[in-house]
A and B are shown apart, each in its own frame.
Chain A
């Protein structure tokens, strides 16, 4: 409702009597991301139609990328606290491989493999978090070593690709949830109900959980404070080290869950699983409005970031550029666009706080858009 009111204000040029509280950077970047995604998808529906009107294709974005959503959530948490974790892709690969090998061994069970997945993720999160927060080692180096370690360990566990044959697991893998009420009509006119995989539900639950943590818990607020300015956070009495430590543990736990979600989707362990996932997750977070400098970000934006990233890939394919390299190039272009947009917006915001005669027009428009009504 607040958004509607805001839009109405913009269109009716209504001046308010008292100055409204300025919109926060997080909310502003989130709004941009969501509107960009909606515009992009609607345009795709109008121009290419076909697949984009198919509800199943929309849900397949989730089905194929549930794991990416989960690790992006973890990365968002770490990035809000001004850290970085590039080991998540390797962790996912290590977990898929270990779980498949465990499931196919004698005495392999689903519960055991889940515990294994969570255990590996947690262990990596704890080690990295300890090194980063308590030993003050640069996060990039620690997680880089983490990436090397997990990728290397994956091939040590098994150098050949491995497909799960455990029957109970296969039953779980092939299980999918029918979404009641929506679906599409096949070529012969029969109704095909839309399906989503259980991994998607897990991913969405995690998105909601992280959203709640960031919004309502003390830990969530501490994350923003530590990322925004760790020194003032320390002076406010926030335990900076512990907050960072927990952010990495959370990220590790999420990569554990993501590993299992990935396994549920593909059912195979492979050394090249989730390759480049860390960079995709970082890109999703950035598109979703999280700043690598920390202190700004929202997990809902990250969700839309993943969706935007994958939708643009679908658009590239739909527009006839089928060579795989076009996807990477457009992803790069999109990243460039969002990075520039954020940079310009944040710079303008910074400037608009200062009175500066020569840029008054820009400021007026800017103040109007963001409701930053200075006492004019």
Chain B
């Protein structure tokens, strides 16, 4: 028992789980009704689940997918891609453009998803090439698409904010009749299982980490770092498309300026809260996904506390700073020293230490 507890506190997931625990405890004390889940009938006549927890799980779907992609990019390139929001806007625009050109049926939706994936992968590969071939820092390389991405999305759609309407899209964006759980949650679960299987049964995760930890050593061991980086950026393209399409289906239109705005920042934050080093190397996807849900839980909690949507950012910032300060090695070391001083016998060479200080 003690051993397993020790294992847990030393694992990478300790920090994000503790943060999630704090958010939950805070809400328990604030208002127990926050956790209530009710069954209601929505506008389309479906019996669906409703409640804050459901909206947290539902609302964090895009963020969770992007956090997975961001974790892989962070791990392999030792930097972050800040263009995911803009890429999602591009992918969403292609999705909408193909949908609007045809009558919306299931094959057409799949076709437009395919088109969006291809375009998103191409754009992601542009950043990927700059990063892998030209050794440019990912943040700078993605600054190009961060600046130009949303305008390109605007240009693809010819200016307006086109909307798409179809019950099929509603199935993807909100509920499939007969299933009370929002579809984005189901998509996340399926996607998560796929990624977990891919990492468990292939060497993908190992290769990515080895490139991130030491590129030269990885190359000497026969792993092609350039290919691994490009592969990760291709995965990023896929993730971005899924996130963008879910968002389009959810709202029913695409606005290049507001779709998934600032999500790159949230995704990087999710990676950091999840206990992954932003300087690359080892990663834990579960941590990042939990980080994404923490961020969304925080946002929904603040909304429930009647904080206006524009002011949420300020409170979020304070919580983030508090979390990273608690998690910082300096503070942890200091806390351990404090604990030793309070609960253990004073060391015998205390005097020597004093002399050392002077």
Residues of A whose CB lies within 8 Å of any CB of B are: 84, 131, 134-138, 140-142, 144-149, 151-153, 155-156, 159, 271, 279, 282-283, 286, 292-293, 323-326, 328-329, 331-333, 335-336, 339-340, 343-344, 347
Residues of B within 8 A of A323 (CB): 159
- Given A149-B318, A326-B151, A343 contacting B143 (CB threshold 8 A): no
Residues of A within 8 A of B137 (CB): 292-293
Does B318 contact A339, Cβ atoms closer than 8 Å?
no
Chain B, range 123-157, C-beta contacts under 8 Å to A: 130, 134-137, 139-141, 143-152, 154-155
Residues of B within 8 A of A326 (CB): 151
* Listed A/B pairs (17) with beta-carbon separation below 8 Å: A131-B324, A141-B268, A142-B324, A144-B269, A147-B317, A148-B314, A152-B315, A156-B311, A159-B311, A279-B143, A282-B143, A292-B140, A326-B151, A329-B151, A332-B144, A335-B143, A343-B135
A171 to chain B, nearest CB (A): 32
Residues of B within 8 A of A271 (CB): 310
Residues of A within 8 A of B150 (CB): 325, 328
Known: A148-B317, A151-B314, A332-B145. 7 other contacts (CB 8 A): A145-B324, A152-B312, A282-B143, A283-B143, A324-B151, A333-B148, A343-B134
Alpha-carbon distance between A286 and B318 when the two chains are bound, in angstroms: 30
Does any Cβ of A come within 8 Å of B335's Cβ?
no
Alpha-carbon distance between A188 and B72 when the two chains are bound, in angstroms: 64
- Closest residue of chain A to B310 (Cβ to Cβ) is A155
Does any Cβ of A come within 8 Å of B321's Cβ?
yes
Residues of A within 8 A of B154 (CB): 325
Does any Cβ of A come within 8 Å of B115's Cβ?
no
Residues of B within 8 A of A149 (CB): 313-314, 317-318, 321
Does any Cβ of A come within 8 Å of B331's Cβ?
yes
- Closest residue of chain B to A333 (Cβ to Cβ) is B148
Does A340 contact B134, Cβ atoms closer than 8 Å?
yes
B5 to chain A, nearest CB (A): 27
Does any Cβ of A come within 8 Å of B176's Cβ?
no
Does A136 contact B144, Cβ atoms closer than 8 Å?
no
Residues of A within 8 A of B145 (CB): 332
- Closest residue of chain B to A271 (Cβ to Cβ) is B310
Residues of B within 8 A of A339 (CB): 130, 134, 136, 140-141, 144
Question: Among the listed A138, A151, A332, which residue makes an inter-chain contact with B313, where contact means beta carbons less than 8 Å apart?
Answer: A151
Residues of B within 8 A of A336 (CB): 130, 144
Question: Among the listed B139, B311, B320, which residue makes an inter-chain contact with A145, where contact means beta carbons less than 8 Å apart?
Answer: B320
Residues of B within 8 A of A131 (CB): 321, 324-325
Residues of B within 8 A of A146 (CB): 317
**Chain B interface, number of residues (Cβ within 8 angstroms):** 46
Does A153 contact B314, Cβ atoms closer than 8 Å?
yes
Residues of A within 8 A of B64 (CB): none
Contact with A along B103-134 (1 / 0, CB 8 A): 00000000000000000000000000010001
Question: Among the listed A140, A293, A325, which residue makes an inter-chain contact with B278, where contact means beta carbons less than 8 Å apart?
Answer: A140
Does any Cβ of A come within 8 Å of B80's Cβ?
yes
- Given A279-B146, A331-B147, A332-B148, A140 contacting B140 (CB threshold 8 A): no
Residues of A within 8 A of B324 (CB): 131, 137, 141-142, 145
Alpha-carbon distance between A347 and B321 when the two chains are bound, in angstroms: 38
Alpha-carbon distance between A134 and B325 when the two chains are bound, in angstroms: 11
B127 to chain A, nearest CB (A): 10
Residues of A within 8 A of B321 (CB): 131, 142, 145, 149
- Closest residue of chain A to B309 (Cβ to Cβ) is A155
Alpha-carbon distance between A138 and B268 when the two chains are bound, in angstroms: 11
Alpha-carbon distance between A286 and B130 when the two chains are bound, in angstroms: 15
Residues of A within 8 A of B148 (CB): 328-329, 331-333
Please provide the 6 A-B residue pairs with the shortest distance between their CB atoms, ordered closest to farther: A152-B314, A332-B148, A325-B151, A152-B313, A149-B317, A148-B317
Contact with A along B300-314 (1 / 0, CB 8 A): 000000001011111
- Given A137-B328, A142-B321, A283 contacting B147 (CB threshold 8 A): yes
Does A141 contact B320, Cβ atoms closer than 8 Å?
yes
Does any Cβ of A come within 8 Å of B49's Cβ?
no
Alpha-carbon distance between A134 and B135 when the two chains are bound, in angstroms: 30
Residues of B within 8 A of A324 (CB): 151
Does any Cβ of A come within 8 Å of B330's Cβ?
yes
